[in-house]
Each structure stands twice: as C-alpha cells, then as structure tokens.
Amino acid sequence: MGQFFKISAPPRIVGYAAVVGPKEAQGPLADEFDIIFPDDTMGQKTFEKAEGQMFLAAMRRALEKAGLLAEDISFMIGGDLLNQTVSADFTARDIGIPFLGIYGACSNMAESMILASMLLSGGYGQRALCVTGSHFSTAERQYRFPLEHGNQRTPTAQWTVTASGCTVLERKDGAKGPRVESVTIGRVVDMNIKDANNMGAAMAPAAADTILDHYRKGSLPPDYYDMVFTGDLGSLGQQLCSTLLKENGLSIDSRYGDCGSIIFQGLKNVGCGGSGCGCSASVFNSYILNGLKKGKWRRVLLVATGALFSPLTSQQGESIPCIAHAVGVEA
C-alpha cells in the first residue's frame, strides 16, 4: 500500500515554469507554456546538452516569476531519465543550489514535490526548487534505437515529450499560491508486463493503486478533487487506469485527465500520447497550475507515473516495475 500523508504546514507554489520544444507547441497547450524553443537542439551541440538547457531555462523562468534568486533557495530536488540523471546533475552544478538528486523515472515531478513539501513543512528550509524534464532524442537513443534508424513504432508506443518543468515551493506566512495539502508515496507495482513499447499498460496499475490509496487513506469523497491528472499513461493506459479504478469502486471519469493524452491531443504519429519526465512536468507547470490560478479548478491531484526498468533489465528478461506518486494541490 502507498503511504498517505497530510502535509502539516502546507507550503505554497510561489513560482512555476514550463519550457518545451517545437513539437509540443503544435499541441493544444501552446499558449500555456512559458518558453517554446524553435528547434530541438536548443542551440547546443548534443541533445543531452539541449536537455540541460531546458532545465536551466525552466529553473530561471520559475525563479523570475517568483521574484527570487538562486541564493534564495534552500535546496533543489531534481532528476531525469538519462543514465546517472546527468541533466539534473549538471544543471545543479550550473545553478549552484544545494542538491538532492532523485530517480523515479517519469514520476520525478511528483516525487520531488512530495519530498520538498514534507521537508519544508517539517521546518527544513524556506524555499525549495523542484525540476525535471526529458527530450525525445535523448530518450529515444538511450532506451530504444539510434535516431538515424528511423524505426517503426508500435501502436501502443508513446512519444517522449521534449520539455522541462520547474516548481518553486515556499513556506512562509503570507506567501501566496496553491498549497500542497497531501501526498501519497507510491509502492512499486509490477503486473509482469515486459513490452517496453506499452508503458501505459505497465504503469496503469501503479497509478490506480496510488489513486485508490490516496482517496481511501485521506477519507476523500470521489468528487473531492475537481481534476485528477495522471502523468503519462497515454490514451490506452488512461483507459486501463479508469477501468481499474471503477473495478475498485472509484468512478472519476468526468474529472480524470492524463498529461500524456492532453499534451499531444490532435497530433498525428505520437502513438498513444506523450511520455517522459517532461510530460507531467510541463503540463503541471503550465495548464494545471494556470487552471488553478484562473479558478478553473480548486483542487487537483497530480499522479505522476514512472516505469522503473532499464534497457539492460529488459535484455535480461525482466518485467517492468512501475510506481506512481500523488500530490494534492489546492488553491
């Protein structure tokens, strides 16, 4: 079972930013993003450096929107999909903030906010920065095939989002912004799916597990959240998650969306939708937080999902262990 916690002294989201590549700007959320890079090299020599460039841009814009400098931040929490999480590592060096590295695959956005909220509310530090992201071209060549291969994709495959998102949290009387009110730390769920091109199906049971735990342990009615957003299940995974929730007595279809389904809605050749750490990170730090700000919703649950496998474990015949972490944000 997941571990639900009510946050005793809820920190506020005082700054946030989402930066994306050109493909993401073709989707329905173009007007929500803070920065759109016109080409996916971000002016860098390698795609890995391009990914780091997005991290820095997201962090700097989020700090700017919060009216803060890097030295105002007590610590940053970040991670990414690359081996040894080098995008977070190198940008932590560049920005110079004390750094706690995490790895939760595409659940990073929620994991970093869970940790930051609990640490701040416990009295450790005044402000924390949470950052993650992904890049189609770094993920594709690390997890799947060389880009030059131009490989055909299966119908259940998803398209890694090229984006980074950053959230700045603050605990201080008088701080303004949505509050992180409750969290659920997920447990690892593995339904023995081995197809690395069907992440939605692999991750859906973990998402359902965490959502059910969050509602049950928080004693929340089904309509407590105006919207529940899973991170990157895609269209197939979203259907599976919805089915699993209903089978366990929780019907929230009318108030359930998936960041991976939303970000590429209407686009062709993206399979079941978006994936990658940048998927929930960019949708949360634009569309979702903008929606809370505008009063479209009052309470939102972000359930970022991660597939905790590696190309090597797949080669060794292992299944795909998955996790989902939930963050309840209230305006």
The footprint of a second copy (CB under 8 A) covers 1-3, 5, 8, 45-46, 48-49, 74-75, 79, 81-86, 89-90, 92-93, 96-105, 111, 114-115, 118-119, 121-125, 185-190, 308-313, 316, 318, 321, 323
Residue with tokens 């690359």: 82
In the complex with a second copy, the residue whose CB is nearer, 1 or 30, is 1
The total of other beta-carbon atoms located within 10 Å of residue 108's CB is 33
Q: How far is the CB of 162 from a second copy (least distance, A)?
A: 18
Rank residues 98 and 249 by Cβ distance to a second copy and give the closer one: 98
Using the minimum distance from each CB to a second copy, give the nearer residue, 219 or 316: 316
Sort residue 122 into left (φ over 0), alpha (ψ -120 to 50) or beta: alpha
Minimum separation from the CB atom of position 158 to a second copy (A): 17
Instruction: Give me the torsion for CA of 11, 228, 201, 51, rounded to 10°.
Output: -50
Q: Let me know how long the chain is.
A: 331
Residue with tokens 């919060």: 66
Q: How far is the CB of 40 from a second copy (least distance, A)?
A: 17
CB nearer a second copy, residue 81 or residue 259: 81
Alpha-carbon distances, residue 158 vs 102, 144, 162, 292 (angstroms): 23, 12, 13, 28
Angle at 99 between CA 279 and CA 161, to 5 degrees: 10
What is the nearest approach in angstroms of a second copy to the Cβ of residue 56?
13
Minimum CB separation of residue 139 from a second copy in Å reads 12
Q: Which residue's CB is nearer to a second copy, number 25 or number 99?
A: 99
